[in-house]
Structure 1
Amino acid sequence: MSTIACDTPCSTLDESAWWALCTAAAERAQRGCGLSYDHYVTLFSSEIDTQANRLPDDQRVQALEIATREWDYATPAERQETQDWLADNGCCSHGITLGCCPAGCGS
């Protein structure tokens, strides 16, 4: 997994490195999501949170804006809201109807 590191104070986000990181994270999330959009968002967003937390504060906002606009990044609060909705509407944490998830959720 790639990381974007900055040993000295940086004033601007290395957008090409961030795009490459987001692209790789999206590909990993897509391979691991079982074709569930909700699970894809969780996998992708969790990895992006980890990487964005390594950035200086002044770059983090821009990085998350790019991830949101281009790859459907969701904040932890948004992901929790989705999980709550899924639970209230008979779906597992992967976004699939209980009893139908190939991971065995709810069966």
Structure 2
Amino acid sequence: MTLSTHVLDTGRGRPAAGVPVRLDRYERDTWRPLAQDVTDDDGRLGDLPAPEAGTYRLRFGTGPYFAATGTQTFYPEVSVVFAISDPGEHHHVPLLVSPYGYSTYRGS
């Protein structure tokens, strides 16, 4: 199974490069960090480790990203919690973000 994400800055109409992203897994009533990186020039981060079924969280450092662009934001961090039931499938979790809003969905 593979896990990837893509961050798009809808306020600027372009990919969000340099967004810190952390992947955590929920185990025994606590979050365990699995990986941490930043989005590339196209706003993408691919092949994150999520080898089995379970509950995961992607934490996006939107505060540092917007600060680097000189933009104030209401959301200094966006957390997306999702469940993987079929580890054999590819899971893509895009984030559309602006200084005062965000949305996400399961992509392909």
* TM-score of Structure 1 vs Structure 2, range by shorter chain: under 0.3
TM-score (norm 1): 0.27
Larger Rg: 1
The structure with the largest helix share of the pair is 1
TM-score (norm 2): 0.27
